[in-house]
Chains A and B, each alone.
Chain A
Amino acid sequence: MKLRLGPYFMRQAIQNVRKNWLVHIVGVSTMVISLLIFGTFLLLFYNVDNWIHGWGDSFSMSIYLKDGIADTTRQKLLSLIRDLPGARIDRIITKKQAFLDLKRALGREGNVLEGLPKNPLPASIEVVFKSSDHSKPEPEKIRKKVETFEGVEEVQYSEEWLRRFEGLMSMFRLAGLIIGGLLGLGVLFIVTNTIKLTIYSRQEEIEIMKLVGATDWFVKTPFLLEGSIQGAVSGFFSILVLYGGYFLLSVKKADILGLALLDFVFIPQGYILTIFLVSIGLGLLGSFIALGRFFRL
Chain B
Amino acid sequence: MIQLFHLYKKFGPNAALEDINLRVRRGEFAFVTGPSGAGKTTLLRLIFGAEKPTSGHILINGINLSRIGRKKLDLLRRKVGFVFQDFKLLTGRTVFDNVALALEVAGERPSYVRKKAHLALRSVGLVKKEQSYPLQLSGGEQQRVAIARAIVNDPLVLLADEPTGNLDPDLTREIMLLFRTIHMKGTTVLVATHSRELLQKTAQRQVILNRGKLIGEK
Contacts and interface: CB of A to CB of B under 8 A. Distances in A.
Contact of B78 (A8, A207, A213): A213
A41 B109 CA distance: 49
Contacts of B89: 208
Contacts of B74: 210, 213-216
B101 A2 contact: no
B106 interface: yes
A205 B92 CA distance: 10
B145 to A, nearest CB: 12
A160 interface: no
A205 to B, nearest CB: 6
A215 B106 CA distance: 9
B50 interface: yes
Interface in B148-188: 149, 153
A4 interface: yes
A212 B78 contact: yes
Nearest to A215: B74
A22 interface: no
B70 A209 contact: no
B107 A213 contact: no
B107 A4 contact: yes
Nearest to A208: B88
Contacts of A212: 77-78, 101-102, 105, 149
Contacts of A1: 107
A5 interface: yes
Given A208-B88, A212-B101, A213-B77, A5 B70 contact: no
Interface residues of A, number: 18
A46 interface: no
Contact of A208 (B78, B101, B106, B107): B101
A83 interface: no
B201 interface: no
A211 B90 contact: no
Interface string A66-102: 0000000000000000000000000000000000000
A205 B109 contact: no
A217 B75 CA distance: 12
Contacts of A210: 74, 77
Q: Among B48, B77, B82, which residue has the most Cβ atoms of chain A within 10 A?
A: B77
Given A205-B90, A208-B88, A208-B90, A213 B102 contact: yes
B3 to A, nearest CB: 21
Given A212-B78, A213-B78, A216-B74, A204 B90 contact: yes
A165 interface: no
A45 interface: no
A23 B74 CA distance: 31
B23 interface: no
A167 to B, nearest CB: 55
Interface in B70-92: 70-71, 74-78, 82, 88-90, 92
A162 B10 CA distance: 75
B104 interface: yes
Interface in B106-137: 106-107, 109
A212 B87 CA distance: 13
A218 B74 CA distance: 11
B107 A211 contact: no
Contacts of A215: 71, 74-75, 105
Contact of B107 (A2, A207, A209, A216): A2
B153 A213 contact: yes
A209 B74 CA distance: 10
Contacts of B104: 8
A184 to B, nearest CB: 32
B73 to A, nearest CB: 9
Given A1-B107, A215-B75, A216-B70, 8 more contacts: A4-B109, A5-B107, A208-B89, A211-B48, A212-B149, A213-B75, A213-B78, A216-B74
8 nearest A-B pairs in the assembled complex, by CB-CB distance: A213-B78, A214-B105, A213-B77, A212-B102, A2-B107, A215-B74, A208-B88, A213-B74
Interface of B: 48, 50, 70-71, 74-78, 82, 88-90, 92, 101-102, 104-107, 109, 149, 153
16 contacts: A2-B107, A4-B109, A205-B90, A207-B88, A210-B74, A210-B77, A211-B48, A212-B77, A212-B78, A212-B149, A213-B77, A213-B78, A213-B102, A215-B71, A215-B74, A216-B74
